[in-house]
Amino acid sequence: MVERKRIEIPADAKVKVSVGPEEKFPFDISPMYEGERIRKEDMFVELGGPKQVKFELVLALPMDQVEDMKVTLVGPDLDEMKEGESYPYGMLYYIAGSKVETDLEPVIERRNHDFQNYIEGYMHLNQRYDIWVRISKNAVKKGLKSLIQIAKATMMLYKNELPFIEKIEAVYITDKNLVEKILKEIAMPIYDERDRRVETLHDEDVQEFYSCTLCQSFAPTNVCIVSPDRPSLCGAITWFDGRAAAKVDPEGPNKAVPKGELLDPIGGEYSGVNEFAKRESGGEYDRIKLHSFFEFPHTSCGCFEVIGFYMPEVDGIGWVHRGYPHPAPNGLTFSTMAGQTGGGKQVKGFLGVGIAYFRSKKFIQADGGWYRVVWMPKELKERVAKYIPEDIRDKIATEENAKTIEELKEFLKKVDHPVVKGVVRKVDGKKITEGWPEVVGVKEEKVEAKPEVAAPAQAPTAAVQPAVQVPTAPMPIPAMPAFQLPMPMPSQQAAPAGIKLIIKDAKITIGKIVLKKKGEK
Amino acid sequence: MTAIAVTGKGGTGKTLVSALLIHFISKKSRKVLAVDADPDSNLSDALGVEVERTLGDVREIFQVSRDEMGTMNKEQWLEGKIYETICECNGFDLLVMGRPEGEGCYCFANSLLRGILRKLTRHYEFVIIDSEAGLEHFSRKTIDSAEYVIVVTDMSKKGLATASRIKQLVKELKLNFKDIMLIANRISSEEAEKRIREFSEREKMKLLEVLPYDERVVELDLKGLPVVNLDESSEVYRRMRKVAEVFLKG
């Protein structure tokens, strides 16, 4: 970790210092100024922006190292700047408080954007090494003289809005050499360190996950749970995005979901997630395992970037992404499978995920993770190749190796894929599949029973294929390999006593289904 | 903020009307945002300005690079890029919406966009939107309201049919508009003007102005020159200035 300490200010630098709160500001401070765009014609000066070196950074320090409400300005101030020009800009804040931790630095740093935009005549855009600030001519006309006034106003807002900040101190820099030096030596390594958190932060390291219900308009029972090890299905929202959104708008589409009790460390089941899911889905389902493919899988909204599908013939899982137009080895295209799976249902045998989930250390770990994966399109495989463990990477087929189940079988046998002789789950060393009967010579039923753990209640006698379920209304069943037919129909939630048809091992062609109430002729 | 949406069937002169409105209004107000919300039109050409990037381009960049953003704040990233995309033209800002969405899910990107555009637009005195007849950006709520809807039509049956359809659509979209109005373009006979007045009464859409057929407009069109190059000698130019004054007076 990069050491957190006060920066050194060169002895020969031009420095202005001011301590203590400001009595009065020559500008208004209000959220109504958010989004105010200062046009080039109205601009006094530009700080940072496309042409200059710039950064903003928050550092958490021990209490005794922060001098409260002190501002140090290194370099020229506003009254020494030329109208219409742009200048380098660095904003550094030291913060302290009993609840202030290094982990909070990025969250606090992002608020600089909000608070500075509350200042009339001051426009703040972007973040980190990309900030872009403009000060309006009008603000200067109204009495803005110094960047110290800006720093004092920002610090005041920090302390008012985030009371856990007990002490705050600012160092603003317009001296090009010093901005460059701090950016290179301190800020960049810290930004990099934070980004590595995406890979190193895990479900067990946090207290809360975040929900996303942006998709509920068309998938009413869908609740996306975003955890450090599981980004949203659409690929857009990480745990960090969820946290940022929930902090700004706690009642918005991203809410904090307390984890509660850990019920299944391998499948990723938490009591808090179950309770939340039950409430938000209107009771539609009450258990979710975040890292499971077969047992209480996460619901699939319809936005997912990739769909996973179980192929009983090889006892393995294939994945196909939205951009792959051809049928997968199971004979189905992405859009066909997506149409069957979307709508906010738990569908056994199919799972929608975001591409970023392939990076997860817990990627379907309950069902063998990468060692259960047998097929994916070349384009997708190349995109995530570096996250695939080396010892399995070449054993996963692409369309170049196999286009049909038969070709896939041949390929898997040739490369000795783990599914052939049985998959050992990496996370706990448990053997979770038996391997292929013709290879390991086990009785057929026993082998095929394994993938069906997901639906023991519905299919106590093991079936080769997941059972076909027709949940409610009459509908033509397409002549396809058998699987569940989820029907994202709003009426389904309304009907408490639905009809469930379970048909096993059958090819079905149905001309018409007539449903009648009891006693009706 | 006064938001004016200019729409109508393609080829009826809606970009001409938009460009001249922007031209006249920005002479009086310092805070004008022009929005090109029609992928088929070329508002920037009509205004004689160059645009490097569109909001659609930014959204695409966002979609492909979001996995690499680490712990950066995506809303602030997107907001910064949109502000960079806005063209700071002489007297007004211009935002080009550009290409439609590609494949995949845009729920998150659009949800962020809506918030950003809402914050941005409220600081302008006038937002003038050149919109295709389907009003897609309104139905998706990327642009969430328009107080005045101006429908531009010529005398063609299709132009009038589109005008009626737009009126229906505007009602259905609940745009909270105050008024939906009509500008008739390329009206070259008294008979045509009479028919358009009848249409306006029947559809209960106020006829804001009748623009004559204008050789100079055709000439600029042929040469690919901006319509804001028109001057006092053009009847269309003079009449559109009157229209702009109606909005400037409020």
SS (H, E, C) A207-225: CEEEEECHHHHCCCCCCEE
List, in order, residues 6 or more apart from B159 with CB less than 8 Å away.
B8, B9, B12, B153
List, in order, residues 6 or more apart from B190 with CB less than 8 Å away.
none
Nearest one of A462, A503, A497 to A484, comparing CA atoms: A503
List, in order, residues 6 or more apart from B6 with CB less than 8 Å away.
B14, B17, B18, B21, B128, B129, B130, B131, B150, B152
Distance CA A310, CA A322 (A): 17
Q: Sign of the C-alpha dihedral, residues B129, B135, B141, B147?
A: positive
3-state helix, strand, coil in chain B (%, to 5): 50, 15, 35
Q: Report, as an integer, the average pLDDT of A459-473.
A: 41
pLDDT in tens, A91-149: 999 999 998 989 889 989 999 999 999 999 999 999 999 999 999 999 999 999 999 99
Within 8 A of B102 by CB-CB distance, chain A residues are: none
A188 in contact with B, Cβ within 8 Å:
no
CB–CB of B51/B92 below 8 Å?
Answer: no
Nearest-Cα distance to chain B for A253, in Å, is: 10
Mean pLDDT of chain A: 87
Nearest-Cα distance to chain A for B140, in Å, is: 13
Question: With an 8 Å Cβ cutoff, are A322 and B104 in contact?
Answer: yes
Question: With an 8 Å Cβ cutoff, are A197 and B103 in contact?
Answer: no
Question: With an 8 Å Cβ cutoff, are B88 and A303 in contact?
Answer: no
Closest residue of chain B to A108, computed from CA coordinates: B73
Within 8 A of B75 by CB-CB distance, chain A residues are: 244-245
CB–CB of A248/A161 below 8 Å?
Answer: no
The model's pTM:
0.79
List, in order, residues 6 or more apart from A375 with CB less than 8 Å away.
A311, A316, A318, A319, A328, A329, A396, A397, A398, A402, A408
- Angle CA(A475)–CA(A479)–CA(A481) in degrees, nearest 5? 115
CB–CB of A513/A473 below 8 Å?
Answer: no
* Nearest CB neighbour to B76, from listed A110, A194, A322: A110
Return the exposure string of B19-36: e unless at least 16 CB atoms fall within 10 Å of the residue's CB, then b: bbbbbbbbeebebbbbbb
Radius of gyration of chain A (CA): 29
* Nearest CB neighbour to B66, from listed A215, A236, A322: A236
Question: With an 8 Å Cβ cutoff, are A127 and B119 in contact?
Answer: no
CB–CB of B113/B7 below 8 Å?
Answer: no
Give the pLDDT confidence score for residue A302 in this predicted structure: 78
**Tokens 């059972």 map to which residue?**
A467
Give the pLDDT confidence score for residue B141 in this predicted structure: 80
State the pLDDT confidence band at A8, using cuts at 50, 70 and 90.
very high
Give the pLDDT confidence score for residue A458 in this predicted structure: 42
Residues of B with CB under 8 A from a CB of A: 30, 66-67, 70-77, 79-80, 83-84, 86, 88, 93, 103-105, 107-109, 111, 116, 118-120, 122-123
Closest residue of chain A to B73, computed from CA coordinates: A241
How many Cα atoms occupy the beta-carbon half-sphere of A249 within 13 Å?
11
pLDDT in tens, A410-420: 999 999 999 99
Give the pLDDT confidence score for residue B70 in this predicted structure: 84
**Tokens 């097929």 map to which residue?**
A375
More confident position, B75 or A469:
B75
Written out in words, the top-level CATH class of the domain with range B2-249 is alpha beta
How many Cα atoms occupy the beta-carbon half-sphere of A61 within 13 Å?
21
CB–CB of B25/B248 below 8 Å?
Answer: yes
Enumerate the β-bridge partners of residue A132.
A48, A125
pLDDT above 60 (res A444): no
Give the pLDDT confidence score for residue A53 in this predicted structure: 97
Closest residue of chain B to A198, computed from CA coordinates: B70
Pairs of residues, one from chain A and one from chain B, whose beta carbons lie less than 8 Å apart: 94
List, in order, residues 6 or more apart from B23 with CB less than 8 Å away.
B47, B228, B244
* Nearest CB neighbour to A37, from listed B72, B108, B120: B120
A106 in contact with B, Cβ within 8 Å:
yes
- In order along its 250 residues, chain B shows pLDDT tens digits of 899 999 999 989 999 999 999 999 999 998 999 999 998 878 999 999 999 899 999 999 998 888 888 888 998 999 999 999 999 998 999 999 998 888 778 888 888 888 899 889 999 999 999 999 888 888 878 887 788 999 999 999 999 999 999 999 988 888 778 899 999 999 999 999 999 999 999 999 999 999 999 999 989 988 889 999 999 999 999 999 999 999 998 7
CB–CB of A225/A273 below 8 Å?
Answer: yes
CB-based burial of residue A446 (10 Å sphere; 0-12 exposed, 13-18 middle, 19+ buried)? exposed
List, in order, residues 6 or more apart from A519 with CB less than 8 Å away.
none
Question: With an 8 Å Cβ cutoff, are A127 and B72 in contact?
Answer: yes
Nearest one of A367, A360, A368 to A384, comparing CA atoms: A360
The domains of chain A, with CATH numbers, are: 15-199 (3.30.1650.10), 204-454 (3.40.1470.10), 467-521 (no CATH)
Percentage of chain A modeled with pLDDT above 70: 86
Q: Give the containing element (helix H, strand E) for B142.
A: none
Nearest-Cα distance to chain A for B118, in Å, is: 9
Q: Which of residues 226-245 of A touch B (CB under 8 A)?
A: 232, 234-238, 240-241, 244-245
Q: Report, as an integer, the average pLDDT of A218-237.
A: 86
Within 8 A of A113 by CB-CB distance, chain B residues are: 73, 76
Give the pLDDT confidence score for residue A460 in this predicted structure: 39
Give the pLDDT confidence score for residue A489 in this predicted structure: 42
List, in order, residues 6 or more apart from A480 with CB less than 8 Å away.
A331, A332, A336
Distance CA B55, CA B95 (A): 7
Give the pLDDT confidence score for residue B110 in this predicted structure: 85
**Tokens 């700004």 map to which residue?**
A248
Give the pLDDT confidence score for residue B172 in this predicted structure: 87
CB–CB of A369/A427 below 8 Å?
Answer: yes
Question: With an 8 Å Cβ cutoff, are B104 and A234 in contact?
Answer: yes
Beta strand A70-74 with A122-125: parallel, antiparallel or unpaired?
A: unpaired
Residue A307, φ and ψ in degrees, nearest 5: -120, 135
Query: Reading across the β-sheet that carries A256-258, which strands appear in turn?
Result: A224-226, A208-212, A256-258
Q: Domain extents for chain B?
A: 2-249
3-state helix, strand, coil in chain A (%, to 5): 35, 20, 50
More confident position, A154 or A463:
A154
Within 8 A of A357 by CB-CB distance, chain B residues are: none
Nearest-Cα distance to chain A for B75, in Å, is: 9
Question: With an 8 Å Cβ cutoff, are B107 and A215 in contact?
Answer: yes
* Nearest CB neighbour to B71, from listed A40, A197, A236: A197
Nearest-Cα distance to chain A for B67, in Å, is: 7
Within 8 A of B103 by CB-CB distance, chain A residues are: 322-323
Beta strand A89-96 with A86-87: parallel, antiparallel or unpaired?
A: unpaired
More confident position, A501 or A321:
A321
State the pLDDT confidence band at A501, using cuts at 50, 70 and 90.
low
Helices (H), ranges, chain B:
14-28, 43-47, 55-65, 74-85, 107-121, 136-139, 157-172, 190-203, 215-223, 235-249
CB–CB of A372/A399 below 8 Å?
Answer: no
pLDDT above 90 (res A320): yes
Nearest-Cα distance to chain A for B92, in Å, is: 9
Question: With an 8 Å Cβ cutoff, are B83 and A125 in contact?
Answer: yes
pLDDT above 60 (res A354): yes
CB–CB of A290/A219 below 8 Å?
Answer: no
**Which DSSP string corresponds to A461-500?**
S--SSPPEEE-SS--PPPSSS--------HHHHH-SS---
CB–CB of A29/A159 below 8 Å?
Answer: no
Interface confidence, given as ipTM, is 0.85
Q: Of B30, B66, B71, which to mutate for an interface test with A (greatest number of A Cβ within 10 Å)? A: B71
Question: With an 8 Å Cβ cutoff, are B119 and A322 in contact?
Answer: no
More confident position, A450 or A149:
A149
Closest residue of chain B to A218, computed from CA coordinates: B107
pLDDT in tens, A169-201: 999 999 999 999 999 999 999 999 998 888 889
Helices (H), ranges, B124-210:
136-139, 157-172, 190-203
Nearest-Cα distance to chain B for A194, in Å, is: 7
Q: Of B62, B76, B85, which to mutate for an interface test with A (greatest number of A Cβ within 10 Å)? A: B76
Q: Report, as an integer, the average pLDDT of A347-365.
A: 92
State the pLDDT confidence band at A507, using cuts at 50, 70 and 90.
low
Question: With an 8 Å Cβ cutoff, are A355 and B67 in contact?
Answer: yes
pLDDT above 80 (res A445): no
Question: With an 8 Å Cβ cutoff, are A37 and B107 in contact?
Answer: no
Give the pLDDT confidence score for residue A318 in this predicted structure: 97
More confident position, B140 or A510:
B140
Amino acid at A442: V
Distance CA B94, CA B77 (A): 20
Closest residue of chain A to B123, computed from CA coordinates: A36
Rounded to 10 degrees, the C-alpha dihedral B152/B153/B159/B161 comes to 70
Nearest-Cα distance to chain A for B8, in Å, is: 30
3-class SS at B213?
Answer: coil
Give the pLDDT confidence score for residue A463 in this predicted structure: 40
Distance CA A362, CA A424 (A): 15
Structure token digits, residue B55: 């909001």
Nearest-Cα distance to chain A for B51, in Å, is: 16
